[in-house]
Amino acid sequence: MYPIIFCSVVALAIFLERLWFLRRKNIIPEDFVQKVEGLVRKGKIGDATFLCQSDASSIAKIFLAGLKNTRKGLWLVKEAIEERGSREATILEKNVGLLATLANLAPLLGLLGTVSGMIKTFNAISVQGIGNPAPLAGGIAEALLTTAAGLCVAIPTLVCHRYLRDRAGKLIFEMEENSIKLIQIMEEQNQELTLS
C-alpha cells in the first residue's frame, strides 16, 4: 500500500504543478501577442525585441528568438523560431509522461499486493487447514484492498494525464499559429521595404 500511496501523492503533485504552469496567461498572453504584432507591423523591431525580453512567457521566448535574427534573413528567423518552439514544447510537456507511467504502475503495484495477499492466504491454508476462515480473510482482504487502491490511483491519474497532454497540445498549437502569423507579418514588412 505504501508505494501506491506514494504514487498517488506524486501524481497529485505533478498534476497540480502542471495545472498551475499551463495557465494560458503564462504561456500565451493575448495582449502581449497583439502588442508584438503591432510593433512588427510598424517596423519597430527593436521595441518588439525589448518587449519580448521583458516578458517571461513561452511565446515571448519564441518571438525573441525570431526577432533577434531579423537582420540575418527570414530563413534564419524561421529556423530560430522552430528551434525555440520545440524547446518550449518540451518544457510544456515536462512530467506529463510521468503521469502515464504512474497510471500504469499503480495497478501493477495493486496486482503485486494481490499476489502477496494470496500467498498469505495459501500459507494460512497450508498451516491451519481450511476449517478456520479467519486467517484466510486477512490475506484475501489484503489482495482486494491493494487491487482496489491501485485502480483508484490509476484511473484518475490516467484522466489527469490525458487532460494535461491535451491542454499542452492546444497551447503548443496556438504558439505555432502565432509564430507563423509573426513570420507572415515580417515577410510583408520585408516586401514593403523591397518595393519602396
Residues above pLDDT 70, as percent of the chain: 94
Q: What is the pLDDT of residue 47?
A: 93
What pTM, to 2 d.p., does this model score?
A: 0.81
pLDDT tens figures, 129-148 = 666 677 677 778 888 888 99
Measure the CA–CA gap between 82 and 167, rounded to whole angstroms: 20
The neighbour count for residue 191, using CB atoms within 10 Å, is 10
Query: Residue 149's pLDDT band (boundaries 50, 70, 90)?
Result: very high
Judge whether residue 193 has pLDDT over 70: no
- For 9-56, what is each residue's pLDDT tens digit? 999 999 999 999 999 889 999 899 999 999 998 888 899 999 999 999
Q: Tell which residue, 149, 146, 154, 150, has the closest CA to residue 113.
A: 146
Task: Indicate the domain borders of the chain.
Answer: 2-94+171-190, 104-163
* Mean pLDDT, rounded, of the chain: 89
Distance CA 99, CA 12 (A): 9
- The pLDDT assigned to 192 comes to 67
